[in-house]
A and B are shown apart, each in its own frame.
Chain A
Amino acid sequence: MKSYELFDRNSRAFIYGQQQKAAQRMLDFDYLCKRETPSVAGFITPTGSGYVKLFFGTKEISIPRYISLDEAILANPDVDVMVNFSSERSCAETTMEALDTENIRTIIMIAEGVPQRDVRKIAKIARERGKWIIGPATVGGLKPGCFKIGNAAGTIQNIKDTKLYRPGSVGFVSVSGGLSNEGYNIVSRNTDGIYEGYAVGGDVYPATTLIDHLLRYEQNPNIKMMVALGEVGGKDEYQIIDAIKEKKLTKPLVMWVTGTCAEVLPGGVQFGHAGAKADSKADTAKAKNAALREAGVIVPDSFEDYDQKIKETFDKLKAEGKIEEIIEPTTPNVPMDYAQAVAEGLVRKPTNFISTICDETGEIHNYCGVPIDQVIKENYGIGGVLGLLWFKKKLPQYARDFIELVIQIVADHGPAVSGAHNTIVTARAGKGLIESIISGMVTIGPRFGGAVNGAANHFSWGLQNNLEPREFVNEMKKKNVMIQGIGHRIHSIDNPDERCEIMMNFAKDHFPKHPLLDYALAVQDVTTMKKGTLILNVDGTIGVLFVDLLKSLGYQDIEIKEMIEMGFFNAFFIIGRTMGFMGHYFDQKRLKTPLYRHPWDDILYAVPDQPEEVK
């Protein structure tokens, strides 16, 4: 590679920072230019090593991540470019590190806000060592057919439209990174295209200035004309005039310095770029444009006819036979990213998942369409939230209250029941919260807690089939099925369970209707005749009342049946009781109870002397 070239078709770079999108854009450019190797050799990410998956055309490739520049160089001794995406806080330091290596020759400083004194030192060292810096505060630039820096030149469509995948005859350089892409567009529309194009950045002291690149372009025989875009502020443009006078710049140069409006604006206005501020007459855009024109630069009257001047200059060179016809290369199709295709409405795909209860993709997460802040402001409560997430309904107040009532009532029934017991034993075995409560929860089922579902099922069956209470009891007996939700260890018809009373009274006071409760109580009249403790117990009460609640809310029998089948009713028991399990778990941990071992005297050892021998 000649000294005036920064890149060729084999140039490879390290990307400092986690800039996968920028890297992908580089690889897409590479593919479009039919480069054989991807231009990104690796990422430097001090937070960790590993790999990043990117596409090279249709093929997915993995690009290594290194934790230091030294490590990256060791693995890739041919790499001589670093695209530095580190923040303004560390950009100077990491650039300096790269300058100190043998290998890295060209560094692009993307960050805006690098202290001037640091950049001035970097610029000086780079110059002394024959290295090149582009930036800071730039998007970079590109050399068509060879190498593209980061996000420069925008989308692949733009690169195609402006033919940036193959070299033209024009060397372009601008101050502004944002405008560089516009510059490529203007040049491309009015000439045979860009040979090289960079933005040096809008700082007060960009590490390399317009003249540095113009002098490179001057030396390069492939570049036939130059186009530059300067800016108000600073005196860097005067170096161009000096170079022309000294015959160091001889190729046609079309140039415009922006900021001509500054003179009619009040003195202190600071434009978007740090360097764009005139401190003296000579810094003004008007003065610079006039001086450039006088030195022989082709300067338009305003930005409006910048494109015309470029075209005229190019056409003249062409007429003089100084520009060879370009044989347009074919370009491979660069696959579009799926996300982009979706954004443009070009593709669709069926989803594998569906959610109809909530959505976290918007600005604020919602429960069944109700934003969470609204849930809180409107006092939905736990009952209201379960209404949204389980029923997908905005429940009336009595339904929310009833759900909360049930949850409170079932929260804990002591340490002896199977779920709490298992939780305690697991906690004492040194296991964590999740394992402990899971071991309790797995015992919930037909025999423990599950009677809620069962009771709802049994009584609903009776009522739906129009069985008289006595007929229902007899039918169940005939089938040899215990009626779920009937019977209590202590409470009886004469000593009713206060918890059941509360729920029933609530239902009687607030539910619009409660036919299944009435039916179950009629059944209870039959069963308690046989034995006083065969009352509708807590599980049974919950089960039948939930059926009544659902009916009150407008559910049909068939829907209620489905809900019972999917364990809907047990869910209220599980959610309540889990609170109790957690309480037991924390209790055991606080008490630092040791491993539980069941005492021998509580186990009947009834082992035969010998096993039965099977012959």
Chain B
Amino acid sequence: MAQKGIREYDAKRMMAKALPKFSDGKIKFEASQVLIGAETDLVKLAAENPWLTTDKLVAKPDQLFGKRGLNNLLYVNKSWSEVQDWIKERMNKTVTIKQTTGETKGELNQFLVEKFIPHEEEYYIAITTSREYDTIHFSTKGGVNIEDVWDTVVTLDIPIMKEIEDMDVTSFLPDELGSRKEIVADFIMALYKMVVEYHFVYLELNPFTFVNGSPVALDAVAKIDDYASFQCAEYWGELKFPSPFGLEKTPEEEKVDELDERTGASLKLTILNPAGRIWNLVAGGGASVIYADTVVDLGYHEELANYGEYSGNPTRELTYAYTKTVLDLMTRKKDPQGRPKFLLIGGGIANFTDVAKTFTGIVQAITEYKDKLIETDVRIFVRRGGPNYVEGLNIMKNLGEKIGVPIEVYGPETHMTKIVSLALDKKVG
């Protein structure tokens, strides 16, 4: 999936490890912080981190969303006991947060607690990546919505084939930094090297400040290229990629994730509306998007139950397990108005996936769910091409006749998404 958001806690943890190394010890970076979930043993935590009870603290949710101050989710300059009460009140509570992109509803379940740092200056830095170069953005006016002070932001592009040593970092920084210019340059260089070596694709500290000559990040937003996990396992340490806020995974989605991780094949499932009547079981990352598009284009987005795909020649067992998960979700309840449901077993013309073989796994699951499919009035539409597709389509045709579930079957001669309109135009109520 490539670009994945990581927690502020993890970003700072990595900075504490990486920055001294990448600055030859010039930059010290302390990260006195703990991450608290519903299960965390707070007594043990306080024993292991004595500063929790001796220092003033800051607490905030750490779940990949910003604007925490604006949403009253920032608790500053408080004692450990106050912080504990504050977290307890909010743990596992569902809240609606305001973001620049709109409102999101989700459950609070991870909190970051760190030392409160009294400070004066608030600087802004972000490192972004694009195809040809990386860009460093810096401003001495951090701690605010950066778009509001965008004209104070200076930028430095580092072409992909260049090293940070090749760049004149000091002179791109504003003169108002004065004597601090050098340490800021050292910090930026170390930070940039970490971004490169640790395969970050995005890092923003808004703001950061200096305490006793060392930089301290008061906030951190980061994304990482998870394709690099094989190179970075040691750098990253134990790193989990949390779901975006408000998109916590259902057990079924987690199950499909597990199946996905187990093999070289790809299996994806996102449940959009469990009461929806249109379920997709589509082969291929590209085709699956088009099927979802077509359902939406035809005006049925409220009926679209899931997004998902299987690809990369999954084994029969995997396809079976995947199909079963979808069928189980789909046949749990009848439509309250007694309308039919639709299962779209779609796909393009496969390059090398054996259609007949993947279909045998699907057939096994459908056969198992025969009674439930009939009970919930499910109608199945199939469209597929590729290696052994003739046999695969025949298997599907025969299945329909055998188990008494209506199955319409189409091959490459029919336009790929035709089954969507065939199913929906006539039949969705």
Contact = CB atoms under 8 A, between A and B. Distances in A.
Report if A and B associate in a common complex.
yes
Interface of A: 21-22, 25, 88-89, 113-117, 120-121, 123-125, 139, 151-155, 158, 161, 174-182, 184-186, 202-205, 229, 231-232, 258-261, 264-277, 285, 301-304, 307, 343-344
Given A154-B351, A271-B307, A303-B294, A178 B287 contact: yes
Contact of A154 (B244, B294, B352): B352
Contacts of A273: 285-286, 289
A612 to B, nearest CB: 77
Contacts of B246: 266-268
Given A151-B351, A267-B104, A178 B297 contact: no
Interface in B306-356: 307, 309, 311, 348-352, 356
Q: Output the residue of A121, A139, A265 with the most chain B CB within 10 A.
A: A265
Contact of A202 (B272, B286, B352, B416): B286
Contacts of A258: 286, 289-290, 293
A272 B288 contact: yes
Contacts of B49: none
B47 interface: no
A271 B1 CA distance: 9
B161 A124 contact: yes
A265 B272 contact: yes
Given A161-B412, A202-B286, A303-B290, A343 B1 contact: no
Nearest to A89: B230
Given A155-B386, A344-B391, A272 B349 contact: no
Contacts of A304: 294, 297, 415, 417-418, 421
Contact of B296 (A115, A139, A264, A344): A264
B231 interface: yes
7 contacts: A120-B132, A158-B412, A231-B286, A261-B297, A261-B301, A268-B243, A272-B311
Contacts of A180: 351
Contacts of A175: 286
B167 interface: no
A268 B245 CA distance: 8
Contact of A272 (B228, B285, B351, B391): B285
A302 B268 CA distance: 24
A178 B247 contact: no
A261 B285 contact: no
Contacts of B285: 176, 178, 202, 271-273, 276
B297 A115 contact: no
A272 B227 CA distance: 14
B311 A185 contact: no
B227 A116 contact: yes
Contact-size category for B: 35 or more
B154 interface: no
Contact of B160 (A120, A139, A177, A185): A120
A343 B2 contact: no
Given A185-B349, A277-B3, 10 more contacts: A117-B199, A124-B160, A174-B286, A181-B350, A185-B348, A268-B246, A272-B266, A301-B297, A304-B421, A307-B415
Nearest to A259: B289
B304 interface: yes
B244 A272 contact: no
B238 to A, nearest CB: 20
Given A139-B351, A177-B351, A267-B104, A88 B289 contact: no
Nearest to A114: B227
Nearest to A266: B247
B386 A181 contact: yes
Nearest to B387: A155
Contacts of A303: 290, 293-294, 297, 416-417
B11 to A, nearest CB: 18
Contacts of B284: 176, 178-179, 272
A303 B415 CA distance: 10
A271 B293 CA distance: 12
B297 A182 contact: no
Contacts of B426: none
B8 to A, nearest CB: 17
Contact of A271 (B159, B288, B297): B288
Nearest to A21: B352
**Which 9 A/B pairs are nearest by Cβ-Cβ distance?**
A272-B285, A176-B286, A268-B244, A182-B348, A178-B284, A274-B2, A179-B286, A115-B228, A261-B296
Interface in B154-174: 159-161
Interface in B1-17: 1-3
B286 A154 contact: no
B30 interface: no
Interface string B384-406: 01111011000000000000000
B415 A154 contact: no
B252 interface: no
A561 B101 CA distance: 88
B196 A154 contact: no
Contacts of B159: 124
Interface in B197-254: 199, 201, 225, 227-228, 230-231, 243-244, 246-247
A89 to B, nearest CB: 5
A175 B287 CA distance: 11
B129 interface: yes
Contact of B131 (A123, A125, A302): A123
Contact of A120 (B131, B243, B247, B348): B131
B72 to A, nearest CB: 22
A81 B416 CA distance: 33
Nearest to A236: B131
A272 B225 contact: no
B295 interface: yes
A270 B227 CA distance: 15
A267 B272 CA distance: 11
A190 to B, nearest CB: 10
A113 to B, nearest CB: 5
A178 B348 contact: yes
B366 to A, nearest CB: 20
B292 interface: yes
Contacts of A152: 351
B367 interface: no
B138 to A, nearest CB: 22
A348 B426 CA distance: 45
Contacts of B132: 120, 124
Contacts of A158: 349, 385-386, 412
Contacts of B131: 120, 123, 205
Contacts of B391: 343-344
B415 A115 contact: no
Contacts of B307: 261, 265, 269, 271
A261 B292 contact: yes
A154 B160 contact: no
A177 B286 CA distance: 8
Contact of A181 (B102, B199, B349): B349
Nearest to B99: A267
A273 B304 CA distance: 20
Nearest to B310: A272
Contacts of B364: none
B79 interface: no
A304 B418 CA distance: 7
Nearest to A270: B1
Contact of B351 (A120, A153, A261): A153
A272 B286 contact: yes
B163 to A, nearest CB: 12
B270 interface: yes
A380 to B, nearest CB: 27
A275 B2 CA distance: 8
B413 to A, nearest CB: 8
Contacts of B386: 154-155, 158, 181
Nearest to B350: A154
B227 A259 contact: no
Contacts of B160: 117, 120-121, 124
A304 B422 CA distance: 12
A117 B161 CA distance: 10
